[in-house]
Amino acid sequence: MTIQQKIKDLRLELREHNYNYYVLDNATISDYEFDMKLKELQDLEEQHPEFYDSNSPTLRVGGEVTKNFNTVVHEHRMYSLDNSYSKEDLLDWEKRIKKLVDGDVFYTCELKYDGASISLTYENGNLLRAVTRGDGTQGDDVTTNIKTIKSVPLQLQGDFPPKFDIRGEIVLPFDGFNKMNEERLEAGEEPYRNPRNTASGSLKLQDSAEVAKRPLECLLYNITGRNLGFETQFESLERARQMGFKVPEAARLASSVDEVLEFISHWDVHRHDLPYETDGVVIKVNSLQQQEELGYTSKAPRWAMAYKFKAEQVSTRLNEITYQVGRTGAITPVANLEPVELAGTTVKRASLHNADQIEKLDIRERDEVFVEKGGEIIPKIIAVDLSKRPEDSKPTQYITHCPECQTELIRQEGDAKHYCPNYNGCNPQIVGRIQHYISRKAMDIEGLGGETVALLVNEGLISNYSDLYTLKKEDVLPLERMAEKSAENLIQGIAASKQIPFERVLFAIGIRYVGETVAKKLAKHYKNIDAIIEASVEDLIAVDEIGDRIAESVVEFFSSEENRMIVDEMKSYGLQLELSAEKLANQTDKLKGQSIVVSGVFETVSRTELKKMIEDNGGKVSSSISSKTNFLVAGDKMGPSKRTKAETLGVAIISESEFLSKLN
């Protein structure tokens, strides 16, 4: 046998033993025998570096140091999930689904594990990269660290698609977490607070050998890609197991919301017997074709819903109510609490939302209050223990003036929030706007963080986001904790942001109510900033999905002379304030004003590409057929009820090839 064949056989054998032990929980050799074989392979690889393999089992021990984690754009976006808390929520969700798809709807129920989200990309059966969720659009490349997790297959077995992403959670089982804390206590170190945060923090450790020491596991639950070779979510879970992934066995198929609720009731009790943290159940429409039909909102898939188990509650004392000023001038009252343990973290503060919420619950300083984590993330006060209220307690008087600049607050009719109107003179608003401008989903300026922005404003170096482009290295070097290299990176990061596309610049400038999706629609419709500045409320309302509130806010923003001056400065510094020539070249008005429904499975282009083509040519993609629908693009396996409805309403039905011919 050749050395190369010996190395190949050892790798194959070790992968098989690894899979049996960490995925199937069924060891076939002793730890000692495994270690001896691993040592033999390590020695052979050291002697013969020409046979290097980036996915060798020997690399599981780590040792590679990563100073900076590269940002990677997800090929398929990682959406968040909408939450539900009751049977009524689920029934409402089911009603919405059944309006949009044909045929019976089945559901896959899966436990929602509380860990750190990860996306693994495989090509030709090999692990290509591992990327954190990040903001859903892009995340950090943590491949080196993920390779140390034994339940992540480096090479797949059986039948697998040529390229795909598989999503899951990196979790830290309770036993491993407790053992880690015992070791830390023995060493005189502070124990870790909870498994979820410890798992999440592990992904960004610079030394992969340290990650390898942690008993992390990877639980997978969703395959994303093209031409995957299966038709349902439940089938995809079984296929993932056959490929070598650790997929929880708890998943069940349900034919009704009642069966979904049976699954939820069972696991609300038995989740405490599991080796990992869980905080709910995820319910998905089982048919992948129906999932495609349902599509996504700007934030979440319409075909999935998270049902959250009832949150843990604790009581503690409310010491003081303070007030924060946001970037839009909105005032948020904050409860400063006696520190209390809740769901694995120490809670010291909770949002009180607005004056109405304080009045509704009659929340007062020195009250004993009940606190829970809304959606297991944000602490909130849900009630007051009136039996423990001090006799001299007085109702809370909401502030009348800004806590930062003392300007009198305003509250518009129909708005729950109070606002500070001192747009250009209130420091937290100025800092907040610039922090929003540099944030990841906006300009994503590398080397510049929120604390540095506050320092730049407080030192008088900038007073708005256009001032960033006037900064020089010698301006920022004197700042606290600013070294030569950091100053260079900051200036380079600001310069690089001049290439950020128009729609993100429009989102970054912080017009109230203009989020990412609205910014894209406005950019696409108006093509450049000048056209938006000139638009009236009536013009803006005519744009698809732009309502009165957004239109009025856009007009109000650009009616400010200072805001227009800032835009002019941004033009002079070379920022992208119009759609690129490439994007303009792909856009036409061929389908302007037309409402189009897409249904079925397509051969030449994917459903996503087809929808993009409609939007690029000025059309609107609608999810349901109505009298306003101009035509229906019908693919294979389109449901009969859609065809019937189209025929009843006299809506034209065209094929995929007819649609493509129409555009060309």
User: Which tens digit of pLDDT belongs to each residue from 98-123?
Assistant: 888 888 999 999 999 988 999 999 99
Q: Where in the chain is the domain with CATH 3.40.50.10190?
A: 595-663
Q: Is the CB of residue 244 less than 8 Å from the CB of residue 19?
A: yes
pLDDT value at residue 411: 92
Residues of the chain with CATH 3.30.470.30: 83-308
Is the pLDDT score of 491 beyond 80? yes
Query: Is the confidence at residue 401, as pLDDT, over 80?
Result: yes
What residue spans in the chain does CATH classification 2.40.50.140 cover? 311-419
Confidence at residue 21, expressed as pLDDT on a 0 to 100 scale: 63
**pLDDT per position as a tens digit, 413-455:** 878 899 999 988 999 999 999 999 999 889 999 889 889 999 9
We find that the CATH architecture of domain 595-663 is 3-Layer(aba) Sandwich (3.40)
**What CA–CA distance (Å, rounded) separates 649 from 595?**
14
Instruction: Tell me, yes or no, if 662 is annotated catalytic.
Output: no
For residue 65, the model assigns a pLDDT of 64
Residues 6+ apart with CB under 8 A from 586: 616
pLDDT reported for residue 376 = 46
- Is residue 63 scored above 70 in pLDDT? no
pLDDT at 493: 94
Which residues in the chain are classed under CATH 1.10.150.20?
427-499, 502-584
374 pLDDT more than 70:
no
Q: Annotated catalytic residue: which of 67, 112, 473, 527? A: 112
pLDDT score of 158 more than 60: yes
Q: Would you state the CATH architecture of domain 502-584?
A: Orthogonal Bundle (1.10)
Stretch 620-626: mean pLDDT: 82
In terms of CATH, what superfamily is 427-499? 5' to 3' exonuclease, C-terminal subdomain (1.10.150.20)
Q: Tell me the pLDDT tens digit for each residue of 544-585.
A: 778 888 999 999 999 999 999 999 999 999 999 998 877 777
**Over the stretch 495-533, which tens digit does the pLDDT of each residue have?**
999 999 999 999 999 998 898 889 988 998 899 999 999
CATH of 311-419 among 3.40.50.2300, 3.10.20.340, 2.40.50.140, 3.40.1710.10: 2.40.50.140
- Closest Cα to residue 619, out of 633, 605, 606? 633
Q: Is 73 helix (H, G, I), strand (E, B) or coil?
A: strand
% residues pLDDT > 70 (the chain): 96
> How much is the average pLDDT of 534-548?
87
Measured distance CA(51)–CA(9) in Å, rounded: 13
Mean pLDDT of 159-174: 94
Q: Return mean pLDDT, the chain.
A: 88
Q: What is the mean pLDDT of residues 445-471?
A: 92
DSSP 243-286: HT----TT-EEESSHHHHHHHHHHHHHHGGGSSS-EEEEEEEES
Confidence (pLDDT) at 22: 60
Return the higher-pLDDT residue of 663 and 18: 663
Tell me which architecture the domain covering 3-61 has in CATH.
Orthogonal Bundle (1.10)
Rounded-to-integer distance, Cα 535 and Cα 106, Å: 47
Name the CATH topology of 83-308: D-amino Acid Aminotransferase; Chain A, domain 1 (3.30.470)
Largest CA distance in the chain: 89
